[in-house]
Amino acid sequence: MLLTKRTQGHLIALMTVFFWGTTFISTKTLLIEFKPIEILFFRFLLGYVTLWILCPRLLVWQGVKQEFIFLCAGLCGITCYFLCENIALTYTTASNVGIITTLAPIFTALLAMFFLKAETPPKRFYVGCLFASVGVGLICFNGKYVLSMNPLGDLLAMLACLFWGCYSILTKKSSNRGYNTILLTRRFFFYGLLLMLPALYLFDFKLNLDRFSNTTNLFNILFLGVGASAICFASWNYAVKLVGAVKISIYLYLVPILTIIGAVLMLNEPFTWLAAFGTLFTLCGVLLSERKIKIKK
């Protein structure tokens, strides 16, 4: 029995967040010898090369207006989102960043109401988002009851949510024009890497390729670049094309659950009852938000 496009989109989204949920382990390992900006640049450069290998065809110039949309997507989803998230971690706690970035689906839904007239989430969506936000908040605390406040770090995390919402909308607008998903994702990566170059200077980027002689470093950067960046961004964009930016964004709530499972199994980190309740809240929120999202004709 053939799966419908909608079902295919949901399955692809689940596969994608599974990989994204395990990137925490690889990133944490690499941070021993690499700066965040170095991991980011190597990751997406490798992802860009991988997309060329997967589809060695050229996406011709699409005109100034359309290329500007591609550039904005690369700026929002590649450069600004990851930079804001990584820099926020240097000013505030990981718990704060984890909680705040769960607002990304709500930002996506609000932006979709203005820029994607076809997608109008009902009240059920926002109730589900509230449940999921509470759940992810419990997961992020995981036994830590002190919420430290730092306005700059929290603001950067909020900006990361806004940038991801913008990226989702721009992806949907671009995919509606019938572009090949891999070629489109590669163009996003190109502009994201291009706009990342000034940050390399600002954050004292070091090439130092000798670090990849360590097989652990090499394996983790290959996983992040080939799997979590090239394949997952292409699959995520394809899922957005099949299902819609608002519906698909709710799956992002599953990422911290998968991260906790991976951390417990591979890093021997503790799993408390608080995290268990958070997992339950998050799953309920995802299911509640997914049901009956109305599509205007």
Burial code of 97-122, b = ≥16 C-beta within 10 A, e = fewer?
bbbbbbbbbbbbbbbbeeebeebebe
Bridge partner list, 295: 119
The tokens describing 91, both together, are 């000013």
249, pLDDT greater than 70: yes
Distance CA 171, CA 74 (A): 10
Please state the rounded mean pLDDT for residues 250-275.
71
46, pLDDT greater than 60: yes
One-letter identity of residue 219: F
Distance CA 35, CA 38 (A): 5
Q: How confident is the model at residue 32 (pLDDT cuts 50, 70, 90)?
A: confident
- CA nearest to 6, candidates 241, 168, 234, 284: 241
pLDDT at 146: 47
Entry pTM: 0.76
Q: Which of 19-28, 78-87, 216-225 is modeled with the greatest confidence?
A: 216-225
Please state the rounded mean pLDDT for residues 209-235.
90
The tokens describing 57, both together, are 């065809």
Q: How confident is the model at residue 152 (pLDDT cuts 50, 70, 90)?
A: confident
Considering only residues 48 and 268, tell me which one the structure prediction assigns the higher pLDDT.
Answer: 48
123, pLDDT greater than 90: no
Please state the rounded mean pLDDT for residues 84-101.
70
Give the C-alpha distances (Å, rounded to integers) separating 263 from 124, 169, 225, 249. 32, 32, 20, 23
Q: Which of 152-156, 220-224, 266-270 is modeled with the greatest confidence?
A: 220-224
Contact assessment for residue 239 and residue 13, using Cβ atoms and an 8 Å cutoff? yes
Give me the DSSP letters along 231-293: IHHHHHHHHHHHH-HHHHHGGGGGHHHHHHHHHHHHS-----HHHHHHHHHHHHHHHHHHTT-
45, pLDDT greater than 80: yes
102, pLDDT greater than 80: no
286, pLDDT greater than 90: no
**pLDDT by residue (tens digit) across 52-91?**
998 898 888 888 899 999 999 999 999 999 888 777 767 7
Q: How confident is the model at residue 122 (pLDDT cuts 50, 70, 90)?
A: confident
Q: How confident is the model at residue 297 (pLDDT cuts 50, 70, 90)?
A: very low
294, pLDDT greater than 80: no
pLDDT at 239: 87
Q: How confident is the model at residue 7 (pLDDT cuts 50, 70, 90)?
A: confident
